[in-house]
Structure 1
Amino acid sequence: MSTDRTAPVDTRMTGILHDALRRDLDRTRTALTASIPPANSQRVALADHLMWMMEFLRLHHRTEDDTLWPLIRRLNPDAAPLLDRMDADHASISPGIDRLRAAAEAYRTDGSAHARDAVITALDGLEAPLLPHLRREEDETMPVVARTITVGQWEDWGHDIMKDRPKLELAREAPWVLDGLDDDRYRVVTGALPAVPRFLLLHALAGRYRRASATRWGGKVEVTPRRSRRHERRPA
């Protein structure tokens, strides 16, 4: 990312966060529709992860609605119709977040086919409005954001929304976001982290994330960043 605080902002982080959501919603569907349903430990891990993702998604939308969109409206009044559409999208997605979270919570303690099917139905209901919204935000709204605010304003906004977040929650998010990233997008994420937290998040917590992911998805699902896979396979 640019170190010039007056430069136009690089908004690729938004797409990276969206991709993490899309990736794990897809993994969830694959696990739930497999010929052999999840066993108890996997079912609980899946349900917990779904509930966490719904909280993440709700927070993601709230920070945009409460702070980012008002900033863009103030600096770029012509963006109002587009931001109105973003607000309407978020409102239409909100009930689906609640339904999927409730279905996941029920599935956590009920491994029946009925409870599993209820999660799949709720997943369908969420993705119908969510996936087009994510693409619209990336293709239409983020270019407007990039033309409207600077690197400095984006960094200040990011600092404001992160300063009160629990450190353990940030530690959970970082390896989840890095999962599967190529070199360019890996650098976007790690470049936004201060040096000490970056070292801890990239090294101390990676093993914990891999173990949790193996419980959720099975050991054959690769969850390390793609760049790390190349390094691990390099001959000695």
Structure 2
Amino acid sequence: MSIDLTVMYAAHDAFRRDLERLGKAAADGSAFSPPVRAGWENFRKQLHIHHTAEDSDLWPRVQRRVEGRPEDLALLAEMEAEHGRLDPQLAAVDAALTDRLDELPGLVRALTITLDDHLAHEERSALPLVQEVLTPADWSAFTGRIRETQGLRGAALFVPWIVDGAAPADRAAFFGTMPPPVRVLNRLFWEAGYRRRGLWQA
């Protein structure tokens, strides 16, 4: 039985979308507005939760299954190293937003390239390895770690954030992986609460 990676790919798309929004805001001068700053803060939080869970739970699970396979072990080391390379770039963009630095557009472009490269590498090489060596139970344990970190309050933001601006087919695919109570809560409460936050709305 294969692992359903729909939510993983949806999260990657949401990260790309948010950096595209930040790049546009940096270019048109609206990046220092409160809604853009709020969007950036949520992006950083979601990326931190995502990468922390990968480093602490997902990659170690895969590593245990690929002992004695040097190329696969090297790939996992690359995943963690790429996470580490993102950290100073995230800090640089954050400082540029805080201090209203003219260097912001260039810093956002550099961060976007680094994150795009990492996500593409993960999708091209690491996720197929995950599919090969992990079980659905392994994957459920990993996603459970993220759910525990988010909690119900975090889910109320995470779920509508993921599908913000998503194509109808992608939105339907994402909600197809969610249990009915999540779909109901999102429709009745979470989506409206997310809209009221006005993230990225310069």
TM class by shorter chain equals 0.7 to 0.9
Deviations 1:174-195 (A, max 9, x none): 1110123335432442233332
Further displaced range: 160-169 or 78-87: 160-169
CA contact (8 A) 1:14 1:138 kept: no
* TM-score, normalisation: structure 2: 0.87
Going from structure 1 to structure 2, the CA distance change for 1:12 and 1:195 (only over 3 Å counts) comes to closer
CA contact (8 A) 1:58 1:94 kept: no
> What corresponds to 2:94 in structure 1?
101
How far apart in 1 are the matches of 2:146 and 2:21?
28
> What corresponds to 2:195 in structure 1?
210
- The answer to whether 1:172 aligns with 2:166 is no
Q: Specify the structure having the higher radius of gyration (Cα).
A: 1
SS at match of 2:33: helix
> What corresponds to 2:30 in structure 1?
38
By percentage of residues, which structure has more helix?
2
Give the gaps of 5 or more residues in structure 1.
1-6, 108-114, 219-236
Letter of the structure 2 residue corresponding to residue 216 of structure 1 = W
Identity %: 26
Higher relative contact order (CA 8 A, sep 6+): 2
CA contact (8 A) 1:27 1:217 kept: no
Give the gaps of 5 or more residues in structure 2.
none
Q: For this pair of structures, how many residues does the alignment match? A: 199
* TM-score, normalisation: structure 1: 0.75
Deviations 1:89-137 (A, max 9, x none): 1111111122222333x15xxxxxxx15343233123123211111111
Going from structure 1 to structure 2, the CA distance change for 1:161 and 1:81 (only over 3 Å counts) comes to same
- The answer to whether 1:83 aligns with 2:83 is no
How far apart in 2 are the matches of 1:10 and 1:200?
22
Note the C-alpha offset of 1:147.
Answer: 1.1
SS at match of 2:157: helix
CA contact (8 A) 1:31 1:217 kept: no
